[in-house]
Amino acid sequence: RDIAGKHVIRCKAAVAWEPNKPLVIEEIEVAPPQANEVRIKIVASSLCRSDLYLLREGKKDFNFPLVLGHEAAGIVESVGPGVTEFKQGDKVIPIFISQCRECRFCKSPKTNLCDNSVISSGKPDSRLTCKGKKLIQYMGTSTFSEYTVVNQNAVAKVDPAAPLDKVCLLGCGICTGYGAAVNTAKVEPGSTCAVFGLGAVGLAAVMGCKAAGAKRIIAVDTNPDKFDKAKEFGATEFVNPNDHDKPISQVLSDMTSGGVDYSLECIGNVGVMRSALESCVKGWGISVIVGFTNVHDLSTRPVQLLLGRTWTGSAFGGFKSKDGVQQMVKAYMDKKIKVDEFITHNLTLNEVNDAIELLKQGKSIRTVMRISPE
């Protein structure tokens, strides 16, 4: 084998050649890392609903072919020129939001966005090719591959003792839901919260509400099979909108003397986003949009906001990406947050289409795929 980082690596990846079709396991080429880039051997990657969103709804926003996957953990194989923060052998988590520490956003405590992110630059390059075609790197990460190349601003170094097949979940879903409650909504002790959607992000939001000291946490989902799991994460009450003739916002208003203090929409459905806002109490209710979608417009009556409700959104739970991932890995290692409990299935990269089916059918919360041996 050549000196690390100086050669093209041939490896396996799951390629999406077109929308709404199964992924195909192919041999791809992964070029050496260029300036400020890190080439990572991906050990474990989990499947997030955003990956499915792209295949099903996001086809207008993205070009194909591409390699999906953005919730993963691995080991640095090599680094490009100018990289000082990482070295071969470091355990890392790639992240879809950068933290360059230099731009106006990184320097502001008001946001976790970064002006130098691969996605926001609009000029994402790719080190991945297959059959002579460039493969687009979804979210700048593309972790459904044995190797990938990521900008150093979008990689977090983690505790060498951290189990990669668990902490991979901290690359997206858990931080997104937990942080939406703790950082964005800033849930207060003794408050009443409603969480809409009990996938991994919603369960993490429930966990965040509990950690923040919420007194009542109402879990809302049309699949009652998810209620036991939600209870494990701290939910105190459960509502299935299909059990009621009234709009869900009215049901929650009746349960809480006029509405909840905080609501979090963790699905990515504009109708549910409206319901979540209108479930909040007037005067100070805060509703956070957490689920991703970019297909339909939002709507509500202006009076909802005129009466003092706040409608806001949250990307990656408001965590500054590198700092947040390290903080959450430490919290996991110190047994302050749950991670293992989100994992319902363990598969391999070859079984990626099975993982997609499980998620589509609502049978899994998180499926972790073993991509490479450590």
Number of domains making up the chain: 2
Q: Assess whether 235 and 293 both reside in one domain.
A: yes
- For position 59, what pLDDT does the model report? 63
Residue 13 maps to which CATH number? 3.90.180.10
Q: Assess whether 24 and 143 both reside in one domain.
A: yes
Residue 304 maps to which CATH number? 3.40.50.720
- For position 58, what pLDDT does the model report? 59
Q: Residue ranges of the alpha helices (H) in the chain?
A: 49-56, 118-121, 164-167, 173-179, 200-211, 227-233, 248-255, 270-278, 302-306, 321-333, 352-360
Residue 100 falls within a domain, yes or no?
yes
Residue 321 falls within a domain, yes or no?
no
- For position 2, what pLDDT does the model report? 46
Residue 332 falls within a domain, yes or no?
no
- For position 52, what pLDDT does the model report? 83
Number of Cβ within 10 Å of residue 32's Cβ equals: 19
The two three-digit tokens of residue 197, written as one number? 């959607």
With a CB cutoff of 8 Å and minimum separation 6, the contacts of 311 are 277, 287, 289, 300, 304, 305
- What values do phi and psi take at 123, rounded to 5? -125, 55
Q: Assess whether 54 and 149 both reside in one domain.
A: yes
Residue 247: give the domain boundaries.
Answer: 177-315
Whole-number Å distance between alpha carbons of 109 and 216: 29
Q: Assess whether 126 and 58 both reside in one domain.
A: yes
- For position 121, what pLDDT does the model report? 45
Q: Assess whether 56 and 130 both reside in one domain.
A: yes
Residue 331 falls within a domain, yes or no?
no
Query: How are strands ordered across the β-sheet holding 66-67?
Result: 133-134, 128-130, 24-30, 9-16, 66-67, 136-137
217 strand-pairing partners: 193
- For position 271, what pLDDT does the model report? 97
Give the end of a domain, one of 269, 300, 315: 315
Number of Cβ within 10 Å of residue 183's Cβ equals: 21
What one-character-per-residue DSSP string does 211-245 give?
A: HTT-SEEEEE-S-GGGHHHHHHHT--EEE-GGG-S
Q: Assess whether 161 and 193 both reside in one domain.
A: no
Residue 324 falls within a domain, yes or no?
no
Q: Assess whether 35 and 100 both reside in one domain.
A: yes
Residue 3 falls within a domain, yes or no?
no
Q: Assess whether 166 and 181 both reside in one domain.
A: no
pLDDT in tens, the chain (374 residues): 446 668 999 999 999 998 889 999 999 999 999 999 999 999 999 999 888 887 776 566 668 899 999 999 999 999 999 999 999 999 999 999 999 999 999 999 999 999 987 664 445 579 999 999 999 998 899 999 999 999 999 999 999 999 999 999 999 999 999 999 999 999 999 999 999 999 999 999 999 999 999 999 999 999 999 999 999 999 999 999 999 999 999 999 999 999 999 999 999 999 999 999 999 999 999 999 999 988 899 999 999 999 999 999 999 999 999 999 999 999 999 999 999 999 999 999 999 999 999 998 888 999 999 999 88
Q: Assess whether 238 and 115 both reside in one domain.
A: no
Q: How far is CA 265 from CA 146, 151, 205, 207, 220, in A?
A: 33, 31, 9, 14, 10
Residue 32 falls within a domain, yes or no?
yes
Q: Assess whether 26 and 144 both reside in one domain.
A: yes
- For position 56, what pLDDT does the model report? 75
Q: Assess whether 164 and 182 both reside in one domain.
A: no
pTM value is 0.95
Residue 284 falls within a domain, yes or no?
yes
Q: Assess whether 299 and 261 both reside in one domain.
A: yes
